[in-house]
Amino acid sequence: MQTSDLGLLILRLAVGLTFAAHGAQKVLGWWEGPGPAGWRAAMERMGYRPPTFWAWVSGLAELGGGLLLGVGLLTPIAAALLVAQAVVIIGKVHLPKGFWNKNSGIEFPMALGAGSAAVLLIGPGGIAVDAPLGLAPSPTILLVLLVLGIVAGLVAMVLPSVAAGSPASATGR
């Protein structure tokens, strides 16, 4: 075992389990979280349509992606999913509030997104479920997954707003 493997394990656990805990607040209502109904209402207030769909997508992205990142299973896909989620969190909620976490700024979600991106590009390390499975995509695929994560996050930020402004949504359909 190399020290870099241990360092990547620590990074994966910190970032992955933090995301998973936030997802558990949304999906399961744990740790004084909003639970499914409260998170659905929050997504509706943010302009997401249909709010139930987007509430489950975001909650499961954090819970499932965080757990996968933490154990190092399908790490590049999990990390790309969490990068996408971080883009949405930053752009939709925290960016208008500045940098510092004290003011609900981008500091905290940016650190989680950057940690996810770092693990995506570096790999999960030797202390990961992916290691004995031999799952090691090429650097080109890793860069593509990073770009896809960023683009998916941007689309998830914009698409619900565009759909909310469509004629079908105005009629309630």
Give pLDDT tens digits for 59-68: 999 999 999 9
Q: Which of 18, 5, 4 is nearest to 115 (CA)?
A: 18
Q: Is residue 130 a contact partner of residue 74, using CB atoms and an 8 Å limit?
A: yes
Q: Is the pLDDT of residue 41 over 60?
A: yes
Lowest mean pLDDT among 84-93, 98-107, 148-157, 161-170: 161-170
pTM > 0.85? yes
